[in-house]
Amino acid sequence: MMRPPYDDKKKEPKLDLLPSMNIENKSKFAVYGEEMIEKEVKQSGNSGRVYLPPEWVGKRVKIIRID
């Protein structure tokens, strides 16, 4: 699982460690869940596709575009 770098005092991401992130046009989401996977969307015809573990079939997921 990938987790953003956290400062123990603030419990907020240390934005100086994420130089490629421009937070001016970003929204912050708080999501509770079981697992998180970070993947790149692959081309699939006229759409995009992300493969997930077979155990996730039939489960609800939330997709957040981060860049």
How many Å apart are CA 11 and CA 52, to the nearest integer? 29
In the chain, where the domains are located: 39-67
Model pLDDT for residues 28-38, shown as the tens digit of each residue: 899 999 999 99
Strand partners, 42: 49
> pTM of the predicted model, to two decimals?
0.56
**Amino acid present at 57:** V
Structure tokens, 35 = 């697992």
Model pLDDT for residues 38-63, shown as the tens digit of each residue: 999 999 999 999 999 999 999 999 99
Mean pLDDT calculated for residue range 9-31 = 68
